[in-house]
Each structure stands twice: as structure tokens, then as C-alpha cells.
Amino acid sequence: MKRRAWAAVAVGCCLALSACGGTPKPATQGSKSASPQPTVGGVALRAVTFPLTGLRAPNEAAARRPSLAVKIDNVNGAWPQAGLNRADIVFDILVEGGLTRLMAVYQSHGAPLVGPIRSARPVDARLLRLFHGGYFAYSGASSPEIRPVMRFSHAAIVQDTHYPELFFRRNDHASPDNLFSSTARLLRALHRKAPHTSAPPQVFHYSSAKSKGTPTSGVVVPFPAATAGWTWAGRHWVRTQDGHADRLMDGSRVSATNVVILSVKVVGTGIFEANGSEDPLPVTIGSGKTWVLTKGVRVAGTWRRATISDPVRLIDSHGRPISLTPGRTWVELMPRAGSPSFHR
């Protein structure tokens, strides 16, 4: 009976702490370890963490917020961008012409300025399903390009042509790369539109334990007409774009706690731009090689995703899940024809 009584006390205290916002504050991204797990009467209370970073959340309500994905351009004219270091997960995705576009996903933090916001692509539908749909903001797309998102992404969406009041133009970028917004502005409208949108599931497996892998100081990830580089800076990875330091509008260097490289097949969509370039479709269902960079090491393995309803599983050479360090993650969807170049 005493053990059951203590368990009841622990559960009650946990609920009270959650309701009052009394749980410890989340560890900052890039910190070496999370705060000690709280106990009541010697019974450990369950730590509440954000699903997309693995970092401590202040309460259950914060951890259960829906995710917001925003399409951000990543070509000459779009730089410098805004808001990327506030995202939980960022995908670097092949688009027409061999260049890339980003999908920045926010859940644990907001960003007062996000952009430049650009158009959607068919691949977005399958990526959004990793977050059970959530919310999605973008700037226009042709009917064939947005159709997959409309049909099976499960996301509530806003775009500038239908909701112009949510977006604004800046005079420090040239059109079409001058459209920006804020996560607060987008979330207010999306919550009114779809108030019962659920929180995302945990996308990756996280652990604060020391990572075992091959020491790595950096990597260059090739795309047909672009490169993404990452260098270990002691506490996090810092990014280069086409050989140049990747900096945001506030002057900060784009950085991440983890870099996940997925080798993916690329197929055609039959959708052509005005200049004759075909929209490529990076295939994020199936399997392929993966490399995970975290804490100055890399772990090689295989990524697997059986169906659009499944998460992406990262498996090492021994068949075990590859753990990421709690914090911000960039995912490089590298075309299978390429190969990353690692530096010791």
C-alpha cells in the first residue's frame, strides 16, 4: 500500500507541476546535458520533452503544440535568410535546376521573422506526414505541385494569395525572395482555421549519452547545382552554402546539433516550370544509406520508412537505432547519385 500511495502522490505532483508551469526550464540547444530528472518521495517524475528536439519542455501544453512547417528559399537572392536557427528540424530539399529549397519546422520555439517564403513542391506532402500534417505555410504553387499536399499531407495550410494579411514584403531582398512572416502571425491564423490539429510525434530517437562513431570535423553534401557543408565547432555544427559561411539576417551562423544525411532516390514528377525544368521528387519512402553527424562524430547506417504513415527509422550497422543528441537537427536529402565527402 505504501508504494501505491507514493506512486499516487508522484502522479498528482507531476500533474500539478505541469499545470502550474513548475517543471524545470528546458535545456538550451547545444547544452551538454539536460537538467536532473525531478523526484517526489524518491519516485522519479516523467520528464516532459519536446517531440522534435528531445529537449526538456516546460509543461505538457508546450510539448503538445502543433508543428508549423514553412518553405524557405535557398538560392542566390534569398540569402541571408531569417528564422532558421529557431526551427527544430530543417530539411534541405532538391528542386528544379539542381538547387535546393528548405522546409523549416517549428514547434518548441517561434521566430519573429521567417523567410524568404517560397512555393510548395510535391515532396512536401510526404514530409508533412512525419508530423501528422500539422500546419504548413508557403507562397503559392501550381495546381499539380500543391495537389499532393491537399490530398494526403493532413496539414492545415495558408499561402500568401489566399491570406495576404499574414505575409509582408521587405525592401532588403528583391522579388520573389522578399516575402516574409512570423511564426506567431502564421500560428494565430492556422489555429483559428484548424484548432484541433494534433502535436507531432517524435521523429528521431534522442539520447544524451556519449555518441560512438568515427571522429569527423566536417562534411560536404553534393547536390547537382549546389553544395551544403557542415563543420564541427566544438558544441555544434556550423553550415556553409556553396563554400561560403551561411549566415542569417541577424548575423548569426546557421548551426545545428545534429546533421542527418539521407541518400534518396530522385524521380521525375512530370511537372515542368516555365523555363522547361522538371520538378524532381526526392523519394522519402523506402530505404537508403544514412550518415548521422553528432557531437563531432559520424555514424553510418540505413534509413527506413515503409509507408507514408511511418516515421523514418535510422539504423546502424548492428541493427540498432541511431540516437541523436537533443537539440536542433538539419536533414540533407542528398540525391543518391552523389556521395558525401567527410573530413577527419
Mean pLDDT of the chain: 89
Whether 276 is in a domain gets the answer: no
Give the confidence band of 269 by pLDDT, cuts at 50, 70, 90: very high
Whether 16 is in a domain gets the answer: yes
> What is the count of structural domains for the chain?
1
The reported pLDDT for the residue numbered 23 is 34
pTM for the full predicted model = 0.86
The reported pLDDT for the residue numbered 44 is 44
Whether 149 is in a domain gets the answer: no
The reported pLDDT for the residue numbered 27 is 39
Asked whether 313 and 321 are in contact (CB, 8 A), the reply is yes
Whether 3 is in a domain gets the answer: yes
Task: Tell me the mean pLDDT in the region 45-54.
Answer: 87
- Residue pLDDT, tens place only, 203-215: 999 998 887 899 9
For residue 244, the surrounding DSSP H or E stretch is strand 244-245
Judge whether residue 308 has pLDDT over 80. yes
Judge whether residue 69 has pLDDT over 60. yes
Judge whether residue 169 has pLDDT over 80. yes
The reported pLDDT for the residue numbered 277 is 86
Residue 306 sits at the vertex; the CA angle it makes with 304 and 310, to the nearest 5 degrees, is: 95
- DSSP three-state, residue 238: strand
AA letter at 1: M
Whether 42 is in a domain gets the answer: yes
Give the confidence band of 274 by pLDDT, cuts at 50, 70, 90: confident
Cell of 262: 539521407
The reported pLDDT for the residue numbered 83 is 98
- Domain with 5 in it: 1-26+35-47
The DSSP secondary-structure symbol of 99 reads -
- Residue pLDDT, tens place only, 111-166: 999 999 999 999 999 999 999 999 999 998 899 999 999 999 999 999 999 999 99
Cell of 247: 549566415
Cell of 263: 541518400
Whether 192 is in a domain gets the answer: no
Whether 40 is in a domain gets the answer: yes
CA end-to-end distance (rounded Å), the chain: 57
The reported pLDDT for the residue numbered 275 is 81
Q: Give start and end residues of each alpha helix (H) in the chain.
A: 2-20, 60-63, 123-128, 143-152, 183-193
Rounded distance between C-alpha atoms, residue 87 and residue 90, angstroms:
7
Whether 12 is in a domain gets the answer: yes
Nearest C-alpha neighbor of 95 from the set 116, 73, 70? 73
Task: Tell me the mean pLDDT in the region 174-188.
Answer: 97
Give the confidence band of 46 by pLDDT, cuts at 50, 70, 90: low
The reported pLDDT for the residue numbered 212 is 87
